[in-house]
Amino acid sequence: MALDICVKVAVGAPDVLGDCPFSQRVLLTLEEKKLPYKTHLISVSDKPQWFLDISPEGKVPVVKLDGKWVADSDVIVGLLEEKYPEPSLKTPPEFSSVGSKIFGAFVTFLTSKDANDGSEKALVDALEALENHLKTHPGPFVAGESVTAVDLSLAPKLYHLMVALGHYKNWSAPESLTSVRNYAKALFNRESFEKTKAKKEFVVAGWASKVNK
């Protein structure tokens, strides 16, 4: 039986998967675990009442598990791992926070209007920490040869980072970060990623309101 999941619809395209990295993280988990699912596309600017009834905060993703709607990608991914342990996507605890500063640093830099506020350096520092991890641990993924939950969380965030910063700031990660670049490529080339990613133009459109504040 297919799992119901509510995810963001694309900006300006009512029947196309949108650009929410947290929704994609859950979709990636479902794909990697080969679980059947049915997506319900939600417009975050015009949320239907039935959706607000099941998700009072109005946030996506929301998944129906054992008859209950569950919000928050961290919680959803944890419950999916418990309920469907094979194939395991469990990240060893010592690796679970690898790359955790990247997304916040990316958003700060993307929305920054001051070139000297240190936000670019903070992002480069966060990416360099990931680079150092990948260089000093056998890969190609954070915890080794197999993809785990930490990779599925990072993949959409790195994709947003590359697309949005390339578009809005003409910025790309330093060439010296070869391990990060290869890591991103390995994730983006996975079938699960191809199936669940938002098109680049929808990623760009999704960030427009934050960049143009």
Largest CA distance in the chain: 53
Amino acid at 48: P
Single-letter amino acid code for the residue at 134: L
Q: How many CB atoms lie within 10 A of CB 190?
A: 17
Single out the catalytic residue among 20, 105, 147, 149: 20
Task: Report the 3 state secondary structure along the chain.
Answer: CCEEEEEEEECCEEEEECCCHHHHHHHHHHHHCCCCEEEEEECCCCCCHHHHHHCCCCCCCEEEECCEEEECHHHHHHHHHHHCCCCCCCCCHHHCCCCCCHHHHHHHHHHCCCCCCCHHHHHHHHHHHHHHHHHHCCCCECCECCCCHHHHHHHHHHHHHHHHHHHHHCCCCCCCCHHHHHHHHHHHCCHHHHHHCCCHHHHHHHHHHHHCC
**Residue 6 bears catalytic tag:** no
What residues act catalytically?
20
